[in-house]
Amino acid sequence: MDIQTISKGPFEGQKPGTSGLRKKTRVFMEPGYLECFVQATFNAIGGAEGKTFVMGGDGRYFNRPAIQTMLRMAAANGAAKVIVGQGGLLSTPAVSNLIRQRSTDGGFVLSASHNPGGIDADFGVKYNVANGGPAPENITQAMFEQTQSIAAYYTLDTADIDLSAVGTATVGPMTVEIVDPVTDYQALMETLFDFGKIRALFEGGFTMRFDAMHAVTGPYATAILEETLGAPAGTVINAVPSEDFGKGHPDPNPVWAKTLMDEMMSDTAPDFGAASDGDGDRNMIVGRGIYVTPSDSLAVLAANAQLAPGYTGGLSGVARSMPTSAAADKVAEHLGLAAFETPTGWKFFGNLLDAGKVTLCGEESAGTGSDHVREKDGLWAVLLWLNVLAERDQSVAEILTDHWGRYGRNYYSRHDYEAVPTEAANALMDGLRGRLDALAGTAAGGLDITGADEFSYHDPVDGSVSHNQGLRIWFAGEARAVLRLSGTGTEGATLRVYLEQYAAPGADHGLSPDVALEKVRDAVVELTEMQAHIGRTEPDVKT
Ligand code: G1P
Ligand code: ZN
């Protein structure tokens, strides 16, 4: 075994509280950088001796060499076995599933999610624990502490192994099992959904476009939608993972999946459109002529999940992140289900899922999932929609209209202000924070303010408390604004403003979101003194 000492000084990069590391690819490629993060992770979990891990990534630039490095390090750290996806590929939900199915000690996902890939773009590594979910806070804290003091890592001087074929190999004394990335994941999907019903839907002429965005869901969607469910060839587009995602952002929203959006809004639109991100955990759902916001998608799935075999017993509860719209709460209220509001970030759903308190959960940022794994799952959401469409025999537009008629419509939009100078963003947030207590009873943007606070989460399972999770302002007429700073941005600060306006059943559900949300938007601009702080009031991206 080789012990490499690090001479370039203390490793920096990991932020406290994150289960992974996302950086420029060239930074990850600096000698010792990836190695230090991986060694810090092994150290933080009490070593790798005798353990089994899952490993795979989204196919972006540096995926394959990074896996070879990590395999050598796992072997040098005494791991017994690593299960790797063929070609180094595994989606995030597939890693979560393999960890659970094979009862491994944990797993590594190599991805920077929806960020672009390439030598001049982004790379990332995250660590998931034995329940299949992102590392919880005690481990991320230990990882952070390790990265601050690490001075050596362990590796072997061995050749790369061939990951191109399914089978077994060895790295030093360690076994490597190379698995088809799709098989176990597809088997899980077949237990949850009525594949026969969905096949019949396609046989009946139902048309669909799935945009894999040159990322990891290409092989999954092709195998499941085309080869198993009988959707015609060409249903899945951009299906071959490429190292730079075809030079695009593998981010499934109306901005980055514009080609798909344009097709879905055209005269020749198929019945159903969907897309997933780099590592396959996010989803976008769009019907012919109608975009479904992730918040609405969660609510529709919560209201209809029992139509799919995996959920016939009903749901134990529904959870959403705080900035996500209250559409899912309306469904929970009607169905008498428990509803939970968690901070932004998937890791907060883990305890609720493990404790059986919720079956479905989701975020406004295009993440939806259930207790089948411990990550959000893009293709799962698409298959649940397909199962619902097959059972209800209605279009996406009809299902949404019907849903709003029953539960009301939560108009919703997120406005992102990117690359804001950090001090300016902090000053804007601090300014508002300082006035929160005085806001109730005043008015802004022509709306009466009924309350305001800073969100703290009390985990009902382990009793832990997470503070500073976003500023919330409520207005008369069931409107709400939320402000928080992104934890995943790479340049300056990203200010996220989440706008919501409820329209009860029977109210006008045909407005454009911009019109419905105008007053709330104006209120935020006024209350934050946005122009004075950041020199603009128009966001870079609206989703
Ligand atoms: C963003 C999303 C959040 C998601 C996270 C990881 O975080 O808003 O919902 O869990 O990416 O995919 P943010 O940049 O807002 O901190
Ligand atoms: Zn992702």
pLDDT of residue 9: 53
317-321 and 360-363 as β-strands: parallel, antiparallel, unpaired?
parallel
Q: Are residues 393 and 470 in the same domain?
A: no
Task: Report the candidate in 326, 277, 272, 276 with the shortest Cα–Cα distance to residue 302.
Answer: 326
The model carries a pTM of: 0.95
Q: Are residues 230 and 366 in the same domain?
A: yes
Q: How far is CA 294 from the centre of its chain?
A: 11
What does the pLDDT look like over 500-523, one tens digit per residue? Answer: 999 999 999 999 999 999 999 999
What residues have a C-beta under 5 A from ligand 2, the ion?
Answer: 113, 277, 279, 281-282
* Nearest ligand by distance to the CA of 134: 1
What is the domain count for the chain?
3
In angstroms, the CA 483 to CA 534 distance is 14
Q: Are residues 227 and 344 in the same domain?
A: yes
pLDDT band with cut points at 50, 70 and 90 for residue 138: confident
Q: Are residues 494 and 393 in the same domain?
A: no
Alpha-carbon distances, residue 41 vs 44, 209, 237 (angstroms): 5, 39, 36
Q: Are residues 218 and 148 in the same domain?
A: no
In angstroms, the CA 226 to CA 29 distance is 37
Domain end (from 179, 208, 232): 179
Q: Are residues 31 and 165 in the same domain?
A: yes
Q: Are residues 211 and 162 in the same domain?
A: no
* Ligand 1 shell residues, CB under 6 Å: 113, 321, 344-346, 363, 365, 367, 486-489, 496
Domain end (from 179, 213, 230): 179
Shortest-distance atom of ligand 1 to CA 364: 9
Alpha-carbon distances, residue 169 vs 75, 165, 422 (angstroms): 12, 10, 48
**Side by side, which strands form the sheet with 367-370?**
338-342, 317-321, 360-363, 367-370
Q: Are residues 453 and 510 in the same domain?
A: yes
Domain that includes residue 468, residue range? 409-542
Q: Ligand 1 centroid to 344 CA: how many Å?
A: 6
What does the pLDDT look like over 426-477, one tens digit per residue? Answer: 999 999 999 999 999 999 999 999 999 999 999 999 999 999 999 999 999 9
Shortest-distance atom of ligand 1 to CA 114: 12
pLDDT over threshold 90, residue 157:
yes
Q: Are residues 376 and 518 in the same domain?
A: no
What does the pLDDT look like over 318-330, one tens digit per residue? Answer: 999 999 999 999 9
Strand ranges (E), 398-532? 409-420, 443-444, 447-454, 457-458, 465-466, 471-475, 479-485, 493-503
* CATH number of residue 398's parent domain: 3.40.120.10
Assigned token pair, 189 = 């999907």
* CATH number of residue 467's parent domain: 3.30.310.50
Residues labelled as active-site residues: 113
Residues 6 or more apart in contact with residue 215 via CB below 8 angstroms:
58, 59, 238, 241, 245, 250, 276, 277, 278, 279, 280
Q: Are residues 165 and 199 in the same domain?
A: no
Domain end (from 407, 422, 456): 407
In this structure, the residue with its CA closest to atom 11 of ligand 1 is 488
Q: Are residues 308 and 271 in the same domain?
A: yes
Phi and psi (nearest 5°) for 65?
-60, -35
| DSSP structure class, residue 251 | -
Q: Are residues 302 and 398 in the same domain?
A: yes
